[in-house]
Amino acid sequence: MEIAANDPSLKSWVEIPVDSDFPIQNLPFGIFKENGKKRAGVAIGDKVLDLSALQEYGLLNDLSLPNKVFDQEVLNGFLHLGKPTGRKVRNRVSELLQENNDELRSHYALGSILFDQSKVKMCMPVQIGDYTDFYSSEQHAFNVGCMFRDPKNALMPNWKHIPVGYHGRASSIIESGIPIHRPKGQQKPNDEEPAVFGPCKLLDFELETAFITCGENGLGEAIPVEKAEDHIFGMVLFNDWSARDIQKWEYVPLGPFLAKNFASCISPWIVTLDALEPFRIEGPKQDPPVLPYLQYEGEKHFDIELEVAIKPEGSEEKVVGHSNFKYMYWNMAQQLAHQTVNGCNIRTGDMYGSGTISGPESSQFGSMLEISWKGTKPVSMPDGSERKFILDGDTVIMRGHAKHNGLRIGFGEVSTKILPAK
């Protein structure tokens, strides 16, 4: 499929800094707040372009959009129009920003349409109705299996047959930049002694991405794997915080609960699957073969570099892991086909986490549980301190971008500071 806005030769009249995550070929959607008002925007270089103003000025008139669809506090209404409409809007915004186009540049007061990203506040881009967290990186599942069970049987017998997941909590998904308090809960540090209650001692990040859906299948209707991407509008970076000590005590027999629902953080820009088209790659060979409803054709994995850094209070940051979205065993289309195969209905604005994404090398692990190997291999920080898990005052920053032949499509970052327990 040819998407006009993806043409790598396009240049914008907006100045794009070298190595920007947001060249004219990206144009991710988000919600920003400026002068006290939230509305929809598109990132271009260091700027935000106000979509509600474009519509008000009649610059999106040929796209049959509902009135004031961008003059909203979330993108759900826009996403609900579906991917073809999203594609039309992105192509039109691309036209308006191209260097040889002066419809916008020469006829409007740019000060009220184009804002510095540093001067606006980025907000939650969607109201998330439901949230699923998968567990789809083989290396991550293998590492956890080695630590808590047996290296010889590290993967559970179901793992290569089912994209394993659980239903998470949507209410505590927050945008980048909001500090969170260390969670408290029950732990059982010693097998011989009773459980205790207190602040989590093994606070961890999970380096993930997440996709956001558009459109509905309807209760009882499965989405086949070859149609799944029609419902995947775009992706964000996702830090799925985990309280490892609380998790270890509580998870039997029903799985993740309070160790996982105190906060999960996303980057504010939804990078469209359209913008990521040039970065499709083949996935790993799935052996044993998967059941027919999970079999797919073509390239459904994406080459997206990911990194995670820890910044101790008052110190420089240190990158503690480099990974890549291509290390997923199960791709997003398979995850969504599996999610709906029983007739579960998805809705616009649902979010689906990838699961911690770890690569094969120890420098590519996506959680402190793996990086410090259960606390046995502490990581040294620029200020001389050590980390096994995350301490109060630390900020965890995740970044991601795809890069190929000089084209860079980035996500920006998700950054969260940990405050002491309340």
Q: How far is the CB of 218 from Mn ion (least distance, A)?
A: 28
Of 6 and 213, nearer to Mn ion (C-beta) is: 213
Q: How many CB atoms lie within 10 A of CB 300?
A: 20
Q: Which part of the chain contacts Mn ion (CB under 5 A), choosing from 157-165, 203-211, 247-255, 377-385?
A: 203-211
Q: Which part of the chain contacts Mn ion (CB under 5 A), choosing from 158-166, 199-207, 276-284, 363-371?
A: 199-207
- For the chain, how long is the longest CA-to-CA vector? 75
# chain residues binding Mn ion, by CB under 5 A? 3
Please choose, from the candidates 260, 82, 106, the residue with its C-alpha nearest in 3D space to the C-alpha of residue 169: 260
365-384 residues near Mn ion, rule: CB under 5 A: none
270/100 Cα distance (integer angstroms): 27
Q: How far is the CB of 264 from Mn ion (least distance, A)?
A: 8
Examine residue 204 and tell whether it contacts Mn ion (CB under 5 A): no
Please choose, from the candidates 104, 110, 94, 96, the residue with its C-alpha nearest in 3D space to the C-alpha of residue 23: 94
Which of 175, 204, 206, 250: binder of Mn ion (CB under 5 A)? 206
3-state secondary structure of 21: coil
234-273 residues near Mn ion, rule: CB under 5 A: 240
288/138 Cα distance (integer angstroms): 14
Q: Which part of the chain contacts Mn ion (CB under 5 A), choosing from 174-182, 201-209, 228-236, 402-410?
A: 201-209
Of 240 and 350, nearer to Mn ion (C-beta) is: 240
Q: Which of 140, 301, 338, 401 is catalytic?
A: 140
Letter for the amino acid at 50?
D
Q: How far is the CB of 118 from Mn ion (least distance, A)?
A: 30
87-146 residues near Mn ion, rule: CB under 5 A: 133
95/3 Cα distance (integer angstroms): 12
* 140 in catalytic set: yes
Please choose, from the candidates 172, 350, 175, the residue with its C-alpha nearest in 3D space to the C-alpha of residue 267: 175
CB-count exposure of residue 416 (10 Å: 0-12, 13-18, 19+): buried
Residue nearest to Mn ion (CB): 240
The residues annotated with a catalytic role in the active site are: 140
The binding site for Mn ion (CB under 5 A) comprises 133, 206, 240
